Amino acid sequence: MSATNPKVESEKNLSSVEVTTVPQLNDNAHHVALEDVDEAAAFVAGFKGEITKEMSDRVRRKCDRHMLPLMMVLYFVQFTDKTTLGSSAILGIKTDNHLTQGQYNWLGTIFYLAYLVFEWPQAVALQKFPPGKWMACNILVWAVVLCCHAACSSFAGLFVCRMFLGICEGSITAGFLILTSMFYTHAEGTQRVGYWFLMNGTAQIFNGFVSFGVYHINPEIIHPWKIYMIITGGITLIVGVCFWFFIPDNPMKARFLTHEEKIIAIERLRGESTGIENKTWKKEQFIEALLDWKSWAFAIYAGSNNVANSLTNMTQLIINSFGFTVGQTALLGCVSGVIEILTIYSSVLVIKKFPNARAYVGACYSIPNIVSGALLIGLPWSAKAGLLVAMYLGGVGTPGFVLSLSWCAASTAGHTKKTTTNAMLLIGYCLGNLLSPQMWEAKYAPRYYIPWGIILGTYVINPIILLGIRYFLNKENKRRDKLFETGQAETEKFVDEQGREIDSTFLDITDRKNLSFRYPL
């Protein structure tokens, strides 16, 4: 008796399925044009096969192998590049460019101001153009601009460079959320967002060691902060080229998948109700996103959560003010990276075991943040070790924002509405990062009671917002369940021009209009 290859058998089962049509439509079926629904609908129209768990897992692993490593590397690069200003602060960028504290703060603000202004145009471009290629173009421009930092000798030059970095980075997180929702289920997407987001911690470790290394370069040959910019810009350039060639724009264009595997990749998302892709911008979905309370709730949470993110530009200066040398400060910055990696990875493991506990997990990880804020205000200036530990504790709450990114995307259906909601969340993220650098005024140094008080306030508010979002989404799920149980709502059927039934997953209808949609918690 010969052994049977399960992979071959699965593909046989898939390819042997016939595409069927509905000869006569019943009264409950609605006609839809394929051009008006999700791009994937035409690709799988009429498919009636069965996707086994083995087939689904095989395709998921293939997506992980071909996409996840490069996405993680890019997120590592983007955080490294975004925080080059903070790392360069102790390497001489302030003195060499004759920057005042106010000008230095503005270099942090202009990055997020440009991010804010261009976030909506970037969101529209990600829908209109192939997202993988659009992100790659932004990465390549961003790499060139980063290298141009080394040619700057004044505030004006750095201001322009930081502005262009903000414009380009507006495509990355939004694009990643779109790509992740195209290839992964809600539960899988939450884990993948965690995986590429924990690379921020890796970037902090990398920054610490590279800063320590370039600090020993003779400034008479080349200023240390300039070689630091060139190194990070060169790495970004290489990653941008790889992104262009290896990241697909959607499952239908994934060269690493066979035709059968592309169908599996799409069909395994059936029932997720968030769809794959639609190039048509729909005004009604845009308006619905603006009128949806949860879009604003996630945006407000992102803004509040990222007030503390202004520390990316201030941490090195604050640690240095504790009395540590420049070399020690650079290495101590690595600790924050280790903490971020451990907290995000542990939260991913918890969510994997308890997939509907996003708000609870985010709220629990916020508790050390509250302790951190209280210690930074309450400890005397002489307690340097305690203040340093308190600053490190502030990094424990990162999983809350990571979970909110994937949660927001998974809670929104309709491609235009999804891109709009993602943009609103990232605009909130921008506002938090844009305004907060301005609170680090020189007159508050060295204790910075006012900034730390504001940050402590956001640490308290953040878990309350997460728990509130969960409460109201759960309430809506129960309301919809009751409508179906009492017969006030029923599952509708949709068919294309040829009479082939289309699953609601690929209809490009919003979560509000699709009563079969259930919000992940």
113 pLDDT above the threshold of 60: yes
pLDDT of residue 500: 58
pLDDT of residue 11: 41
1 pLDDT above the threshold of 60: no
Q: Which stretch of 11-20, 168-177, 467-476 has the lowest confidence by average pLDDT?
A: 11-20
The arithmetic mean of pLDDT across residues 71-95, rounded, is: 79
pLDDT of residue 3: 42
Using pLDDT thresholds of 50, 70 and 90, give the confidence band for residue 312: low
Q: Which stretch of 22-31, 70-79, 96-105, 299-308 has the lowest confidence by average pLDDT?
A: 22-31
Which candidate, 521, 12, 50, 418, places its Cα nearest to that of 268? 50
How many Å apart are CA 158 and CA 93, to the nearest integer? 10
The amino acid at residue 35 is E
How many Å apart are CA 3 and CA 224, to the nearest integer? 62
Which candidate, 406, 13, 399, places its Cα nearest to that of 177? 406
How many Å apart are CA 366 and CA 360, to the nearest integer? 10
Residues 6+ apart with CB under 8 A from 239: 70, 73, 74, 77, 139, 143
Using pLDDT thresholds of 50, 70 and 90, give the confidence band for residue 492: low
pLDDT of residue 294: 94
**How high is the mean pLDDT of the chain?**
80
26 pLDDT above the threshold of 60: no
The more confidently predicted of residues 221 and 473 is 473
Q: Which stretch of 197-206, 218-227, 346-355, 439-448 has the lowest confidence by average pLDDT?
A: 439-448
Using pLDDT thresholds of 50, 70 and 90, give the confidence band for residue 464: very high
Q: Which stretch of 194-198, 424-428, 466-470, 478-482 has the lowest confidence by average pLDDT?
A: 194-198
pLDDT of residue 126: 86
90 pLDDT above the threshold of 80: no
The amino acid at residue 79 is F
CA distances from 426 to 113, 205, 261 (A): 12, 25, 33
Q: Determine the angle formed by the axes of helices 415-435 and 172-183, rounding to 10 degrees.
A: 150
How many Å apart are CA 384 and CA 441, to the nearest integer? 21
Judge contact between 414 and 282, C-beta under 8 A. Answer: yes
How many Å apart are CA 490 and CA 386, to the nearest integer? 60
How many Å apart are CA 74 and CA 172, to the nearest integer? 9
238 pLDDT above the threshold of 60: yes
How many Å apart are CA 379 and CA 50, to the nearest integer? 62
The arithmetic mean of pLDDT across residues 258-281, rounded, is: 73
pLDDT of residue 505: 61
**In the chain, % of residues over pLDDT 70:** 84
How many Å apart are CA 185 and CA 183, to the nearest integer? 7
pLDDT of residue 16: 37
Which candidate, 439, 408, 480, places its Cα nearest to that of 101? 439
Which candidate, 369, 327, 352, 448, places its Cα nearest to that of 403? 352
pLDDT of residue 2: 39
The arithmetic mean of pLDDT across residues 174-202, rounded, is: 84
Q: Which stretch of 74-78, 219-223, 273-277 has the lowest confidence by average pLDDT?
A: 273-277
Using pLDDT thresholds of 50, 70 and 90, give the confidence band for residue 297: very high
How many Å apart are CA 229 and CA 88, to the nearest integer? 8
268 φ, ψ to 5°?
-70, -15
Using pLDDT thresholds of 50, 70 and 90, give the confidence band for residue 325: confident
How would you classify the pairing of strands 501-502 and 29-31?
unpaired
Highest-confidence range of 243-247, 267-271, 276-280, by mean pLDDT?
243-247
How many Å apart are CA 200 and CA 77, to the nearest integer? 9
CA distances from 402 to 69, 225, 340, 511 (A): 18, 30, 11, 22
DSSP 379: S
For residue 495, what are the β-bridge partners? 31, 501
pLDDT of residue 446: 74
The arithmetic mean of pLDDT across residues 133-157, rounded, is: 90
The more confidently predicted of residues 311 and 39 is 311
498 pLDDT above the threshold of 80: no
The arithmetic mean of pLDDT across residues 306-314, rounded, is: 73
Q: Which stretch of 358-362, 403-407, 488-492 has the lowest confidence by average pLDDT?
A: 488-492
244 pLDDT above the threshold of 80: yes
